[in-house]
């Protein structure tokens, strides 16, 4: 009886997931619908139901959108990498090497992009900017803040190396 019920569950699941019905119905929703449709004939438990759905490749894949923060395929000039050399460049003091990067943050209104400039010697974030877009304005504001921070603490920025992932914002 359970094999027949499993086969009918799979067929019913395929029917429910058609474009006209509920193509994005998850396992919980399918389980509830099967219990309502088959009523007292539906005797398998939730875990067995999930196993049947998984075995027949009816599980929905969760695709989470992750924005891309780096676009290195641009036509701008690429400067040589002064940090990842042999021997590896290690900073000897504050203000000699700063590392810049952009990350995204989930907010209620959507994504926000955090541009940060970190002093590689002290690992102190010397500049940052939170913005709604991936424009070059965010990294520029973060770099200006980093320069102001160094100036406020009397750190010389002469000969400073600015290292980034070579994204279009830094080109």
Place of tokens 């803040």: 145
Domain that holds residue 20: 2-55
Q: Within this chain, do residues 71 and 49 fall inside the same structural domain, yes or no?
A: no
Three-state DSSP class for 51? helix
Which pair of structure tokens corresponds to residue 120? 């590689």
Verify cis geometry, omega within 30 degrees of 0, for the bond prior to 78. Answer: no
Q: According to the model, what pLDDT value does residue 153 have? A: 94
The per-residue pLDDT for range 93-108, each reduced to its tens digit, is 999 999 999 988 888 8
Q: Within this chain, do residues 45 and 75 fall inside the same structural domain, yes or no?
A: no
Q: Within this chain, do residues 71 and 153 fall inside the same structural domain, yes or no?
A: yes
Burial track 138-155 (b if 16+ CB lie within 10 A, e otherwise): bbebbbebbbebbeeeeb
The per-residue pLDDT for range 22-49, each reduced to its tens digit, is 667 777 887 888 788 877 777 778 888 8
Phi, psi of 2 (to 5 degrees): -70, -30
| C-beta of residue 127 within 8 angstroms of C-beta of residue 142 | yes
Residue 136 has pLDDT above 50, yes or no: yes
90 against 13, higher pLDDT: 90
The total of structural domains in the chain comes to: 2
Q: Within this chain, do residues 74 and 47 fall inside the same structural domain, yes or no?
A: no
């Amino acid at each position: 009886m359970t094999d027949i019920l499993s086969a009918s569950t799979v067929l019913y699941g395929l029917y429910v997931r058609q474009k006209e019905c509920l193509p994005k119905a998850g396992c919980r929703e399918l389980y509830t619908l099967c219990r309502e449709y088959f009523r007292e004939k539906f005797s398998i438990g939730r875990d067995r139901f999930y196993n049947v759905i998984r075995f027949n490749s009816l599980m929905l894949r969760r695709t989470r959108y992750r924005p891309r923060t780096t676009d290195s395929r641009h036509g701008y000039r690429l400067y040589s990498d002064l940090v990842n050399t042999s021997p590896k460049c290690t900073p000897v003091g504050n203000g000699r090497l700063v590392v810049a990067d952009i990350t995204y943050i989930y907010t209620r209104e959507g994504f926000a992009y955090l541009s940060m400039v970190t002093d590689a010697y002290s690992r102190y974030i010397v500049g940052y900017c939170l913005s709604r877009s991936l424009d070059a304005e965010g990294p520029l504001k973060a770099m200006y803040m980093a320069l102001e921070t160094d100036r406020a603490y009397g750190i010389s920025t002469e000969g400073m190396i600015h290292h980034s992932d070579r994204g279009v914002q830094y080109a």
